[in-house]
Amino acid sequence: MTEDDKMTDAALHSLKNLRAAQPSPEAKKIALNAAMAAFDAAQVKKPARAGWASRWRLGAGLGLPIGTAVAALVLLPLGTQLFVAQSNKTDGVPPKGEVTIASKDKPLLKTPADAPVPLPKTMDEEKADDGATLTLAQPAKPVTEIAGTVAPEPMATTTAAPVMDQLATSAPVGRGVADAKRMAQTPMQEQGEADLMAAPAPSANVMGSVGVVSQNGVSLQPSGDSFQKFDESRVKVVKDEPVSTFSIDVDTASYSYVRSVLGDGYLPEPDAVRLEELINYFPYDYPAPASLETPFRATMAVMPTPWNSKTELLEIGIKGYVPPATERQPENLTFLIDTSGSMDEPNKLPLLKRSFGLLVDQLKPTDTVSIVVYAGSAGVVLEPTKAADRAKILGALDNLAAGGSTAGAEGIELAYRLAAQNKIADGVNRVILATDGDFNVGIDSPDALKTFIKSKRDQGIFLSVLGFGRGNLDDALMQSLAQNGNGNASYIDSFAEAQKVLVEEGGANLVTIAKDVKIQVEFNPAQVSEYRLIGYETRALNREDFNNDTVDAGEIGAGHTVTALYEITPAGSGGELNDPLRYSSSMSAEPQPVSQELGFLKMRYKTPEGVVSKLITTPIGKDLVLDDLSKAGNDQRFAAAVAAFGQKLKGSAYGEAMTWQQIADLANGAKGSDVNGYRAGFVQMVKLAAVIGPDKPGVAE
């Protein structure tokens, strides 16, 4: 070595001033997610603890193969330390069970005392000791189908960058999309497959929600949430069943729940996808009635179906009356807040308190607020207080803390009692239940609770339900309580969603202008041979229910929009799915006169205090038919895009023909002014779904 090759003391001294290269944010995120997911997999049967480790959990967990976790860890620069541990300590110092990458001279994975990495324990061997070390599962044979798609060949870790780039431009989402992508391309662990085979079968009426599902509906990542199971609306022959009857639905919980699941990098359980709630999440620019004498009016259009060239879409849009600010009714609101132990998560009680703070800011000084909480027992936190005393109300909210079990029924009884004591004549009297859906203590039966809520509804006190968080969400019960309480159900997954539900749509969600709203469509067999209603499966009514005023139906709030879509097959188009009957009685009947009407629309409703319904009718003329989808308005085309998305997401028998890109393009071209960016957020959600569950091979481009 020459003198020139030697490094001088001055040069060596200068090296101490050099700064280490900063790790790539994408690499850090992937490595952290993968390591935490591997830790979660090792802790399957251990209860979550509030402490250092729980703050690092992924929530439901990604369940990634350890091969992926190790590959992701390699992306971190040398010298970066990553701690994964389980502890009740909160001082930020990781206890035993650490995983570290120290330098190239040290082993990639290090456990205490350099012990060898243990093989995964069986479920029976798993123990809840706080000092458990991280166990790493061994790779096994691959799972070939994830989310109903065939897993492609494993991808190199370098392909994570485009996925992360796409996430950077998407709507607010959670972690784990890139990791979920890798999970679909990497062999699953033997332990994971064993857990999958041991998963309990869903009940007959309620299915647990999952993050990623195969075509047979088996959960790969159970969340603990439950949903009412229902079958998709089928195609009906007009000659056999010419009349379709359903209750309107203005709930939006399904959309925000689906967005939350996709944001975490999973596909939602099919029964969590209610198409009408996805479609009705968005405001539409339908014309509103001029006065409350006619509380709503219908707007209709018929356009080509984007996923089937032989059928058409009939859109029925309803817009509720928008009262001026001078006509605003006084409000008596009772907040019924779940403070049980399960609410002790950042996206539950802390988000709930900030959300209610938004609502308080919108109230008039003369409005009244009461607060009731329930956990191990129910109690009044805030006696009826005028909204003018904003500091007192916000202080009561701020002091709430989670703990105890859940006595939902007792809390509801107390909340209704308080609301009745302060009932405002000719005003808004409403209980707002905010919960993660965990009703498990102090309730005799769901039917008894529904009956109680119905009786209070008949006394003029309505109920709305806000769902928070995941893991305990009993969506079916929340939907049922809201329906029986003449209210609506919403799912709050972010502060932005709270702003939408409680501020932007506050009047529509709190002020009812018409109740028991039913829609009935009679199709003309001379013009329409088949039809199916898109969504509204849980809102279907019998034909005779339409004229029966004792049958409950949905409500419309001030300014609410409601959209319903029928896919119809024009007579003679050749798109029929049902063959004509050989011995049909209609063959010998007199031919029906050709009419210019596709059908006839009927709508029934009651005033908020009424007991006898009123009828609105209008024909559905052929003049509404558009021969090209591009001629339809932005609202019509966007609603069609959302319907296509929902059908594809839930694995519908009717929506597989469109690709994710085609759906995104249709929605992108129909965003319109999109003042609040909701439609742009939907387009990004479609792109997320395309990453998590790519199109099946053979889907037309």
CA-CA distance, 450 to 446, in Å (whole number)? 6
pLDDT of 70 above 50: no
The answer to whether residue 58 scores a pLDDT higher than 50 is no
Predicted local distance difference test score (pLDDT) of residue 26: 55
* Percentage of the chain modeled with pLDDT above 90: 51
The better pLDDT of the pair 88, 612 is held by 612
Residue type, 193: E
- pLDDT: is 62 or 681 the higher one? 681
Burial letters 495-532, b for 16+ CB under 10 A, else e = ebbbbbbbeebbbbbbbbbbbbbbbbbbbbbbbbbbbb
DSSP 658: S
Residues in CB range of 675: below 8 A, 6 or more apart: none
Q: How many angstroms separate the CA atoms of 22 and 384, rounded? A: 55
- Asked whether the predicted pLDDT for residue 201 surpasses 90, the reply is no
Q: What is the pLDDT of residue 607?
A: 93
Q: What is the pLDDT of residue 249?
A: 87
Place of tokens 């001055």: 10
Structure tokens at 148: 């109903």
The secondary structure element, H or E, covering residue 529 is strand 528-533
Task: Let me know: does 147 contact 269? Beta carbons within 8 Å.
Answer: no
Residue showing tokens 């990781």: 94
DSSP helix/strand/coil, 500: helix
What is the spatial distance between Cα 184 and Cα 154, in angstroms, rounded to a whole number? Answer: 9
Give yes or no for a contact between 531 and 235, defined as CB atoms under 8 angstroms apart: yes
Q: What gap in Å lies between CA 297 and CA 295, rounded to an integer?
A: 7
- Least confident stretch, 57-61, 247-251, 438-442: 57-61
Report pLDDT digits (tens) over 352-389: 999 999 999 999 999 999 999 998 778 999 999 999 99
Using one digit for the tens of pLDDT, what is the confidence trace for 432-491? 999 998 766 555 677 888 889 999 999 999 999 999 998 888 888 888 889 999 999 999
The lowest-confidence range among 120-134, 302-316, 617-631 is 120-134
Give pLDDT, residue 410.
Answer: 82
AA letter at 351: L
CA–CA distance, 642 with 686 (Å, rounded to integer): 9
Give the H/E segment covering residue 317. Answer: strand 308-320
**What b/e string do you get for 639-662 counting C-beta neighbours within 10 Å, with b at 16 or more?**
bbbbbbbbbbbbbbebbbbbbbeb
With a cut of 60, say whether residue 95 has pLDDT above it.
no
**Bridge partners for 557 per DSSP:** 512
CB 330 within 8 A of CB 427: yes
Say what the pLDDT of residue 578 is: 87
| Phi, psi angles (nearest 5°) of residue 625 | -75, 130
Count CA atoms closer than 13 A to 213's CA, side-chain side: 23
**Region 672-677 average pLDDT:** 94
Residues in the chain: 701
Instruction: Report in angstroms the alpha-carbon separations of 254 from 87, 244, 250, 517.
Output: 35, 23, 11, 21
Q: What is the pLDDT of residue 521?
A: 98
Higher pLDDT: 55 or 239? It is: 239
CA atoms within 13 A on the CB side of 696: 17
Mean pLDDT of the chain: 75
Q: Which of 138, 176, 162, 132 is nearest to 44 (CA)?
A: 132
Q: Which residues, at least 6 apart from 74, have a Cβ–Cβ distance to it below 8 Å?
A: 108, 157
pLDDT in tens, 555-589: 999 999 999 999 999 998 888 888 887 776 554 44
- Are 72 and 30 a contacting pair, CB within 8 Å? yes
**Distances 490 to 47, 279, 301, 467 between C-alpha atoms, Å:** 28, 14, 28, 6
* Side chain identity at residue 34, one-letter code: A
Of the pLDDT bands very low, low, confident and very high (cuts 50, 70, 90), residue 101 is very low
pLDDT, tens only, 401-443: 998 777 777 888 899 999 999 999 989 999 999 999 876 655 5
Q: Is the pLDDT of residue 268 over 90?
A: yes
Q: What pLDDT does 62 receive?
A: 37
Which residues have CB under 8 Å from 173's CB, separation 6+? Answer: 167, 259, 262, 263, 264, 688
Note the pLDDT of residue 584: 65
pLDDT (mean) for 201-225 = 43
DSSP states of 424-465? -TTSEEEEEEEE-S---SS-S-HHHHHHHHHHHHHTT-EEEE
Q: How far apart are CA 66 and CA 385, in angstroms?
A: 55
The pLDDT, as a whole number, for residue 89 is: 37
d(CA 700, CA 72): 34
CB 67, CB 188: distance < 8 Å: no
Residue 97 has pLDDT above 50, yes or no: no
Question: Residue 139 has what pLDDT?
Answer: 36
Q: Are 611 and 536 in contact, with CB atoms under 8 Å apart?
A: no
User: What's the rounded Cα separation, in Å, for the pair 180 and 613?
Assistant: 51
The pLDDT assigned to 325 comes to: 75
* Measured distance CA(32)–CA(494) in Å, rounded: 23
Evaluate if pTM is beyond 0.75. Answer: no
Contact 630, 296 (CB under 8 A): no
Q: What is the 3-state secondary structure (H, E, C) of 462-493?
A: EEEEEEECCCCCEHHHHHHHHHHCCCCEEEEC
Q: What is the mean pLDDT of residues 501-522?
A: 92
The residue that leads in pLDDT, 185 or 554, is 554
Quick one: pLDDT band at residue 535, thresholds 50, 70, 90? very high
Would you give the DSSP letter of residue 618?
E
User: Which sign does the torsion angle of CA 236, 238, 239, 244 carry?
Assistant: positive
Confidence of residue 174 (pLDDT cuts 50, 70, 90): very low
Domains of the chain: 25-192 (no CATH), 329-510 (3.40.50.410)
**Most confident among 156-165, 324-333, 358-367 (mean pLDDT):** 358-367
